[in-house]
Homo-oligomer: A and B are copies of this chain.
Amino acid sequence: MKIELICTGEEVLSGQIIDTNAAWFGDVLMNVGLELQRKTTVGDRMEDLVSVFQERSLHADVILVNGGLGPTSDDLSAAAAAKALNVELVEDSGWRAHLESWYSKRDRKMPVSNYKQCLLPEGAVLVDNPMGSAPGFRVKINNAWLFFTPGVPVELKPMVMDQFLPFITEEFGITDAIRLEKLVTIGHGESTLADELSAITIPEGITLGYRPSPPHVEIKIFARGNLAISAMPNYIKDVKKSLDTALVTDRFPSISEEVHTLMMESGKSLSIAESCTGGMLTSQLVDFPGSSTYLKQGLVTYSNTAKQKILGVKEDTLQNHGAVSLEAALEMAMGARSLLETDFALATTGIAGPDGGSDEKPVGLVAIALCDNNTSWVQTIKLSNRSRNLVRVMSCAVAHDMLRRRLIDEDPIVDYPFISRLDSQVIHVD
């Protein structure tokens, strides 16, 4: 079955609003093992609408059309469908009665503009809209069923779930079993990952996809058919083994959500001291509800005075080693930890750029420290040729990974191929 989506509306086409309906619909289809073949977005011009309906209905079996069912003059979907079919618009008396009764029950007069919403192409099958005044409808043009839905998300969603999906299931029969797994990595490029994984034989029916989204590259493993699904666990085991330290979570979209969850499960507490990451390390955890149970404080100590006064970093350290150094990061982490006696502390200090670098300490140099009650781990990494934002994003990922690895009892400091480490130190205090 070939499924397509047509989105209408100037504001979607011109980028004034981001089309979350399309993303939602694609996701819904994937969850039931169906694939969207094509998505077309057009504005509110009658000739564009008519031509896209006529043209796409030659190729698809079923098309969800979203938007253009409202009461105003730029809502043209029903009229364009009638034109594409070469039929008239006729009033649906049932829907008119339904709307009139809705208004009269509320002692309100029905606005004139709502009468337009009772007009459907002749022969169309009405699709109930329990959430609003615009009825959906479906018509067959050329080879395809076109299923018209309103653009308002709360009206679209029940229509798709309760009426569109049952309709296509019955009309076309859906049988294929599918499964999708995602692995989130850091510290590798898309191409080195692809090179590495190409050494593992992919079972029939499984496909691999890569999505770079800094600081991550997400690997998607998609299986179609029962044979492929049963081959998946072993294949994923091999992939994970090959990914090694690059794999940071197989259950969440980001390393920060993995760290948040591990921290919640651990019952331990955390302090954060940031310089170059400027609150990002903290904010990425605060994004998740419940983070206040373990995250006791996040201190952005930008100035040297703040590092000294709040965290107790020694003047000597700053003078002899500089604010961006193993020593300063270490004292920042230890200072933050001892302030509230939390179980863990993380600290970052570096040069995010674009200015402020020197030959000795170039832009992209970042020192990151983690400490618990008796051990400290600290490393300096160099993130060359990255934007200010990317230096911060990657530094946060490495800092979170140090904590993540500590929480699962792995060595917090490891190699990542795309991140060069200049120096590191582990200090035990008994």
The size of the chain A interface, using a CB distance under 8 A, is: 95
With A14-B35, A37-B43, A71-B194 given, can you name 13 additional A-B contacts, CB distance below 8 Å? A13-B36, A14-B29, A15-B27, A16-B27, A17-B212, A70-B212, A112-B195, A113-B191, A152-B212, A278-B286, A279-B280, A279-B300, A292-B356
Interface of A is mostly: mixed
Instruction: Decide if B289 touches A296 in the complex (CB within 8 Å).
Output: no
CB-defined interface of A81-115 with B at 8 Å, one 1/0 digit per residue? 00000000000000000000000000000011110
Instruction: Tell me the bound Cα distance from A20 to B200 in angstroms.
Output: 33
13 contacts between A and B (CB under 8 A): A15-B24, A16-B209, A19-B22, A19-B23, A72-B191, A154-B387, A277-B286, A279-B279, A279-B282, A291-B302, A296-B305, A306-B339, A310-B310
Instruction: Decide if A296 touches B303 in the complex (CB within 8 Å).
Output: yes
Asked if A287 lies at the interface with its beta carbon under 8 angstroms from chain B, I say yes
Asked if A346 lies at the interface with its beta carbon under 8 angstroms from chain B, I say no
Instruction: Tell me the bound Cα distance from A384 to B388 in angstroms.
Output: 35
Task: State which of B18, B194, B282, B340 has its C-beta within 8 Å of the C-beta of A73.
Answer: B194
Tell me whether A190 and B72 are in contact in the complex, defined as CB-CB below 8 angstroms, given that A20-B18, A278-B286, A279-B286 are known contacts: yes
CB-defined interface of A331-343 with B at 8 Å, one 1/0 digit per residue? 0000000011000
Instruction: Decide if A299 touches B289 in the complex (CB within 8 Å).
Output: no
* Contacting residues of chain A (150-207) with chain B, CB-CB under 8 angstroms: 152, 154, 189-192, 194-195, 198, 207
Instruction: Decide if B25 touches A113 in the complex (CB within 8 Å).
Output: no
Asked if A230 lies at the interface with its beta carbon under 8 angstroms from chain B, I say no
Instruction: Tell me the bound Cα distance from A358 to B166 in angstroms.
Output: 36
Residues of chain B with a CB closer than 8 A to A283's CB: 278-280, 283
Instruction: Tell me the bound Cα distance from A275 to B43 in angstroms.
Output: 42
Asked if A136 lies at the interface with its beta carbon under 8 angstroms from chain B, I say no
Residues of chain B with a CB closer than 8 A to A133's CB: 191
Asked if A210 lies at the interface with its beta carbon under 8 angstroms from chain B, I say yes
Instruction: Decide if B11 touches A15 in the complex (CB within 8 Å).
Output: no
Asked if A229 lies at the interface with its beta carbon under 8 angstroms from chain B, I say no
Asked if A74 lies at the interface with its beta carbon under 8 angstroms from chain B, I say yes
Task: State which of B11, B37, B292 has its C-beta within 8 Å of the C-beta of A302.
Answer: B292
Asked if A41 lies at the interface with its beta carbon under 8 angstroms from chain B, I say yes
Instruction: Tell me the bound Cα distance from A136 to B341 in angstroms.
Output: 53
Instruction: Decide if A211 touches B113 in the complex (CB within 8 Å).
Output: no
**Interchain nearest-CB distance for A69 vs B (Å):** 11
